[in-house]
A and B are shown apart, each in its own frame.
Chain A
């Protein structure tokens, strides 16, 4: 009996410790998400403008005259996918959902760039070729991160060893909903809607401008996906840790009840033995 009580006490302590750690992680994620969300919001006007201007210029350019591999595409068997994942686990089903999506893509003829330790670990087990692996880090990725990614992408894409670039990352819908999505990035698809003539004078020529604009376009898209993936990670972790904390507290409550009950039972039993012995004498 006494041993049983000790055991209960220990289990209760364990549950409480888990709850404490989960609470700490939840609070860390909550503070990180605030900064991440404001970065996402701050980035939005810039990203919107760059994409808008790029697509309207592309719509205006005669594809016969202007040949840039970003637009006209290259012929190659393989395609390139950039997977953005967290470095760490403990963020609910975020990683699992992301990796399910990788499995949906035909893994042959695929080259992968893994941004985030988890994606790297997972990709190594696939048939696909993993050409580069980075850590996303535990803080908000700075804008400079995109340069090293672009370096590798250009190496593969411009040399003609891959025919397309796709990004797989977790889109941040809300605090409770993050969906993994696969986006086609390169070659850039010309917009389908009706084109309105651009009123601008272009200086230098529109063709030269476009070749300068395209790298910016790619940077913006990569950066947006990076910070969005990061925000998703923090949101998923916060919610997961909130649940973990609540569950641990529930267990602790339950164990406290059992502990108190069995302690009371023991006292009652001891009293009973004492009193009955007294009556016997």
Chain B
């Protein structure tokens, strides 16, 4: 019996991650959940946050903007409208995005512009946090 869990992280930008993993930690609505192989079938909502994938003892991080998680029969998938691998986060770009979003929020905005800017801001802050964490982990 395979002891592996197959996970894929899917977003409109494509399949961000795909492969057999040992465990995954996700930001669920009711708190962080960690899923191991042979988990019961589950469908849940995710909030924005960090996904930590353990594959052959190695940890990799992804940032998502919220979405859904589904697992059935050792096949798991994360559906999110924005997902990025922590290593591919360009810190400078994230900083710039954050600065722009903050500036936009200070201006008078219509409702939809506010929603977009607010979302951008939260994602960029999260990206920065995760990117710094990943860097710290690699350094020592």
> Are A and B part of the same complex?
yes
How many angstroms from the CA of A200 to the CA of B112 in the assembled complex? 34
Are the CB atoms of A201 and B115 closer together than 8 Å? no
Within the complex, which residue of A203, A212, A213 is in contact with B42, where a contact is CB–CB below 8 Å? A203
**What would 28 A/B residue contacts be, using CB atoms closer than 8 Å?**
A41-B14, A45-B10, A45-B14, A46-B11, A49-B10, A50-B79, A53-B68, A53-B70, A53-B79, A144-B116, A147-B112, A151-B111, A199-B72, A200-B70, A200-B72, A201-B43, A202-B42, A202-B43, A203-B29, A203-B30, A203-B42, A203-B43, A203-B44, A209-B43, A216-B67, A216-B68, A216-B79, A223-B12
Which of chain B's residues 8-29 have a Cβ closer than 8 Å to chain A?
A: 10-15, 28-29
Within the complex, which residue of B14, B68, B79 is in contact with A42, where a contact is CB–CB below 8 Å? B14
Q: Can you list, as one digit per residue, whether each of B40-84 has a CB less than 8 Å from chain A (1) or not (0)?
A: 111111000000000000000000000110101000010101100
How many angstroms from the CA of A200 to the CA of B39 in the assembled complex? 11
Closest to A150 in B: B112
List chain A residues, Cβ under 8 A from B42: 200-203
Residues of B within 8 A of A (CB): 10-15, 28-30, 40-45, 67-68, 70, 72, 77, 79, 81-82, 111-112, 115-116
How many of chain A's residues touch chain B, expressed as a range? 20 to 34
How many angstroms from the CA of A83 to the CA of B68 in the assembled complex? 30
How many angstroms from the CA of A198 to the CA of B111 in the assembled complex? 37
Q: Does A204 make an interface contact (CB < 8 A)?
A: yes
Q: Does A43 make an interface contact (CB < 8 A)?
A: yes
Q: Does A156 make an interface contact (CB < 8 A)?
A: no
How many angstroms from the CA of A212 to the CA of B44 in the assembled complex? 10
Closest chain-A Cβ to B42's Cβ sits at a distance in Å of 5
Given the known A-B contacts A49-B79, A200-B41, A200-B70, are A148 and B112 also in contact in the complex, defined by CB atoms under 8 Å? yes
Closest to B33 in A: A203
A interface: dominant SS: helix
Given the known A-B contacts A53-B70, A201-B40, A216-B68, are A43 and B45 also in contact in the complex, defined by CB atoms under 8 Å? no
How many angstroms from the CA of A219 to the CA of B68 in the assembled complex? 14
Q: Does A220 make an interface contact (CB < 8 A)?
A: yes
Are the CB atoms of B68 and A213 closer together than 8 Å? yes
Which of chain A's residues 33-52 have a Cβ closer than 8 Å to chain B?
A: 41-43, 45-47, 49-50
List chain B residues, Cβ under 8 A from A45: 10, 14-15
A-B pairs with beta carbons under 8 A, tally: 77
Closest to B28 in A: A203
Are the CB atoms of B12 and A212 closer together than 8 Å? no
Closest to B68 in A: A213
Are the CB atoms of A143 and B12 closer together than 8 Å? yes
Sample of 7 further A-B pairs with CB below 8 A, known A50-B79, A200-B42, A203-B45: A42-B13, A45-B14, A151-B112, A202-B42, A203-B43, A209-B45, A219-B81
List chain B residues, Cβ under 8 A from A199: 41, 72
How many angstroms from the CA of A167 to the CA of B118 in the assembled complex? 28
Q: Which among B15, B43, B115 has the greatest number of chain A C-beta atoms within 10 A?
A: B43
Are the CB atoms of A46 and B44 closer together than 8 Å? no
Closest chain-A Cβ to B67's Cβ sits at a distance in Å of 7
List chain B residues, Cβ under 8 A from A148: 112, 116
List chain B residues, Cβ under 8 A from A220: 12
Within the complex, which residue of A46, A143, A209, A216 is in contact with B10, where a contact is CB–CB below 8 Å? A46
How many angstroms from the CA of A200 to the CA of B111 in the assembled complex? 36
Closest to B83 in A: A46
How many angstroms from the CA of A69 to the CA of B7 in the assembled complex? 34
List chain B residues, Cβ under 8 A from A47: 12
List chain A residues, Cβ under 8 A from B10: 45-46, 49
How many angstroms from the CA of A198 to the CA of B42 in the assembled complex? 10
List chain A residues, Cβ under 8 A from B44: 202-204, 209
Within the complex, which residue of B28, B77, B81, B111 is in contact with A49, where a contact is CB–CB below 8 Å? B77
Are the CB atoms of A201 and B70 closer together than 8 Å? no
Closest chain-A Cβ to B107's Cβ sits at a distance in Å of 16
Given the known A-B contacts A42-B13, A45-B15, A200-B42, are A216 and B30 also in contact in the complex, defined by CB atoms under 8 Å? no
